[in-house]
Amino acid sequence: MCESDDCTRMNAISSDPSLVRADFFSRTMTTYSEGGDWQGRTSARLQSFQLRGLRLGIIGMGAIGHRVARIGHFGFETSVQATVSSSRELPAHVQAVDLSTLCSTSDLLVVCTSLNDATRGLLGRKELALLPAGGVLVNVARGAVIDEEALVAFANDPERKTFLVLDVFHESPLDPRHSLVASNASLLTPHMAGITREAEREVGFASARVIQALLAARTDNLNFLETTDESE
Residue 116 vs residues 11, 64, 70, 155: alpha-carbon distances, Å: 27, 16, 25, 24
Whole-angstrom distance, CA of residue 6 vs CA of residue 162 = 23
Q: Check if the beta carbon of residue 109 is closer than 8 Å to that of residue 136.
A: yes
53 backbone dihedrals φ, ψ, rounded to 5°: 85, -5
At 25, which helix (H) or strand (E)? helix 17-34
DSSP 8-class letter at 132: P
Side-by-side strand order, sheet with 55-59: 94-96, 79-83, 55-59, 108-111, 136-139, 163-166, 186-188
Number of H helices, E strands in the chain: 9, 7
* Residues annotated as catalytic (active site), given as ranges: 142, 171, 191
In whole angstroms, what is the distance from residue 114 CA to residue 145 CA?
Answer: 8
Residue pair 140/169 in contact by the 8 Å Cβ criterion: no
How far apart, in Å, are the Cα atoms of 60 and each of 69, 83, 116? 11, 7, 12
